[in-house]
Each structure stands twice: as C-alpha cells, then as structure tokens.
C-alpha cells in the first residue's frame, strides 16, 4: 500500500455540475458556472471582485500586470515559496528581490520594511540604491497554511505607494485576526490576491486560479486582458495585447462543487493534523509546529521539522526512508535564490529560509487520509 502526499477529494456535486455543462454545451470560458464560482469565492472570502483564470501562476501574472508592474521594475518576493511566484514577476518583465521568511514560512515583514527604509525613498515610491530601479511591489506568500503579518506591511506599502499582490494560492480557507480583532481571509488585505485550484490544493478545478480585489478598476482590467483585450465581440476588435487566460465553465463547475465542501475538508485535515501531533508529542527528534491562536488555518500541508544535526543529511535520509516504504513526502520548496534562473538576482539575508529548507519535510495530508495511514507514517518516523 502506498500513501500519497496530497490527493483531491470528490464527495459532492462535482459530477452533477460537470454533466450539466456537457448536456447544455457550455463547456468553454463562457457559462453560468464561471460567474457562480466567482460570486461564491467573493462570498466566502469577503472579496468585492473575483476573476477566474486558468492557473494560480496566471493569477499572479495578471495581478501584477493589472496592478501596473512594468518592465524594469523590481518586486520583493520571499525566497521560501514555489518558483511560480518569481516566474510571474519575470513574465511581467520585472525582477524579483529575494527576502527571508520567519519561523512560520511567512515573509519576514520586519526585515523587508527595514530594507525598504534604507533605500531611496521619494514622494512617488521607493528606488533601489543598489540597482537604481523602482521597487514597485511586494508579494507576501501565505505558505503551508500559515499567514504573513499583513497589518504593518499594508500600512508601510500604502504610505510609500508600493503594490501588494498576496500570493494566497495555498491558503483558501485560512482566516486570521488583525490587531483590532477583526477577522480577515487571506488575499483580501492587499491590493490584489491570488488563489490556486491545482490538483493538490484544498479545493481543485483540475487546474485553475482566481484573482480577488477590492478595486473595481483592477477587476475591470483583469476581465479585459484575460479575454484577449476584446472590445467588440462581433467584429473581433482588440485594443491591446491580451491573453487567453480565463477559466472554463467545466472547471468552474468542478470548483463550485468543491467550494461547497471546503469547511468539511478543513475539518478533516485539522483532525489529521491533531492526530499527528498527538502521536509525536513526546518525540524530541521531530516537531510539527502548531498554528497561532488567532489563525484559523486550512491546514493545507503538514510540515515536520527535524531537530537532528546535521539537519540536511538527516532530512535527505528520512525522505529516502519514506520513499522506500512507498510513502510520498517532500522537502519544503527549494529556496528561489538557489534556483538556476535566479542566481544573479539580489538576495537579502535569508538565513531562516535556508534553515527551514535544510530541516523540514511535508507529510501525507490528503483529506481522505486514514488514521491507519497516519500510524504507518509515524511508525517510520519512530524507526
């Protein structure tokens, strides 16, 4: 018996909704399920506008374009994230600057604002003293069910006209409280937020994404550029270079059915997480870090930290031990400043990022994971 890392779970009206698309012929990028899915995401997250697109990577790219990121700009990105975050910056012909995370995998806001305060601050923004380029945006990433401390980051960026594009691709279903006790969903505090519906996410459309925003002008721009920038649907008139980036009605139907079950998914994943913690409570070699009390996490991935030394060697041996037992585990994302396309980009102090990369793996965490399977995972850990 093999145990996968994270698989989708279909237990609702997925077949009913998808079959409705097929029977009515509305299978492409136009159809009622697209608008219904966008509306449902707004209602669930509290966003004013939502625009469905064909991937989380596309969501990030389109959000940067809509937000005004231009050729030659720079965007601060955590090094601890999936490469799609930095790739979206390059798609916009801008350059990423790689920053550190904190112990919860979240962008280190204190280090970021300290760096920005040391740059060339002008009335219309901040310019990098080292490169001479404008630092146009910051992408805080809510990773593995944890969240970035958005309050201070939002205040700083609004003061200095820096765009915030929240990479919430892993965090649908995650809510947190601000300093005033107000509850927020991830992706809503910044200028734009991005979600992913890839096959391993908390809900899936097979492949897809969503951009949310409170800014009507951004939403209108997003709808325009993701539908080939068409201004006349009869005579095929286009007013700029656009993109064919919208989500299909078939995918939206699947996503809507999945979203209807998201609270059940999170409840089950929370139960799995708690059982892991119970079994590993007295194990001094490994630690599954808990979540802050003011956070209702979606528990997307379960990250296990190794306390052994040297951590990297222990991590790699542990991964191989799991693979030998046909249990799928993965290290956390390889830091982006170590990736070949980005070795020449500016890198700030990323010591916490490198520590977590060397000492953390992700354990099986599917919605339909069983206690017997968790027992087997922990048995390998205790061997």
Judging by beta carbons within 10 Å of its beta carbon (0-12, 13-18, 19+), is residue 241 exposed, middle or buried? exposed
- pLDDT greater than 70 at residue 247: yes
What is the pLDDT averaged over residues 261-273?
98
pLDDT at res. 293 = 87
- pLDDT greater than 70 at residue 197: yes
At residue 242 the predicted structure's pLDDT band, cuts being 50, 70 and 90, is very high
- pLDDT greater than 70 at residue 79: yes
pLDDT at res. 1 = 66
- Secondary structure (3-state) at 132: coil
Percent of the chain with pLDDT over 70: 99
Model pLDDT for residues 113-171, shown as the tens digit of each residue: 999 999 999 999 999 999 999 999 999 999 999 999 999 999 999 999 999 999 999 99
Q: Tell me which residue has tokens 């939002």.
A: 154
pLDDT at res. 377 = 97
- pLDDT greater than 90 at residue 383: no
pLDDT at res. 179 = 80
Task: Tell me if the pTM is above 0.85.
Answer: yes
- pLDDT greater than 70 at residue 173: yes
Model pLDDT for residues 269-281, shown as the tens digit of each residue: 999 999 999 999 9
Q: Answer yes or no: are the C-beta atoms of 378 and 280 closer than 8 Å.
A: yes
Q: Which helix (H) or strand (E) holds 378?
A: helix 371-382
- pLDDT greater than 90 at residue 373: yes
Sheet holding 175-177, edge to edge: 183-185, 175-177, 295-296
Judging by beta carbons within 10 Å of its beta carbon (0-12, 13-18, 19+), is residue 1 exposed, middle or buried? exposed
Model pLDDT for residues 289-347, shown as the tens digit of each residue: 889 888 999 999 999 999 877 777 799 999 999 999 999 999 999 999 999 999 999 99
DSSP character string of 32-87? HHHHHHHHHHHHHH--SEEEEES-HHHHHHHHHHHTT--TT-EEEEESSS-THHHH
Whole-number Å distance between alpha carbons of 117 and 126: 9
Domains and CATH numbers, the chain: 14-259 (3.40.640.10), 262-382 (3.90.1150.10)
What is the pLDDT averaged over residues 79-102?
98
Residues 6+ away with beta carbon under 8 Å from 338: 79
**Position with higher pLDDT, 20 vs 310:** 20
- pLDDT greater than 70 at residue 98: yes
């Amino acid at each position: 018996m093999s145990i996968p890392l994270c698989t989708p779970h279909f237990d609702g009206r997925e077949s009913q909704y998808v079959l409705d698309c097929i029977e009515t012929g509305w299978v492409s990028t136009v159809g009622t399920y697209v608008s219904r899915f966008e509306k449902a995401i707004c209602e669930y997250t509290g966003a004013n506008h939502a625009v469905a697109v064909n991937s989380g990577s596309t969501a990030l790219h389109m959000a940067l374009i809509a937000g005004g990121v231009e050729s030659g700009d720079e965007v601060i990105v955590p090094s601890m994230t999936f490469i799609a975050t930095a790739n979206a910056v390059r798609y916009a012909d801008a350059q990423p600057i790689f920053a550190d995370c904190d112990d919860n995998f979240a962008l280190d806001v204190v280090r970021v604002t300290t760096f920005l305060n040391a740059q060339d601050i002008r009335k219309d923004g901040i310019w990098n003293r080292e490169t001479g380029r404008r630092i146009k945006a910051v992408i805080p990433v809510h990773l593995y069910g944890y969240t970035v401390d958005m309050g201070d980051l939002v205040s700083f960026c609004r003061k200095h006209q820096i765009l915030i594009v929240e990479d919430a691709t892993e965090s649908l279903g995650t809510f947190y409280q601000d300093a005033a006790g107000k509850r927020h969903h991830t992706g809503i505090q910044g200028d734009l937020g991005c979600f992913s519906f890839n096959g391993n996410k908390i809900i899936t459309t097979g492949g897809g994404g969503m951009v949310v925003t409170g800014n009507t002008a951004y939403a209108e721009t997003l709808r325009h550029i993701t539908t080939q920038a068409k201004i006349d649907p009869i005579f095929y008139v286009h007013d700029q270079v656009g993109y064919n980036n919208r989500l299909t009605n078939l995918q939206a139907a699947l996503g809507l059915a999945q979203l209807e079950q998201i609270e059940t998914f999170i409840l089950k994943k929370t139960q799995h997480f708690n059982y892991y913690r119970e079994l590993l409570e007295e194990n001094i070699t490994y630690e599954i870090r808990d979540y802050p009390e003011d956070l209702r996490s979606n528990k997307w991935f379960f990250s296990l930290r190794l306390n052994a030394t040297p951590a990297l060697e222990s991590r790699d041996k542990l991964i191989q031990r799991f693979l030998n037992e046909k249990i799928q585990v993965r290290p956390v994302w390889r830091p982006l400043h170590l990736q070949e396309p980005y070795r020449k980009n500016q890198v700030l102090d990323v010591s916490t990022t490198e520590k977590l990369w060397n000492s953390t793996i992700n354990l099986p965490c599917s919605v339909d994971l069983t206690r017997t399977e968790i027992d087997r995972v922990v048995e390998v850990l205790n061997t």
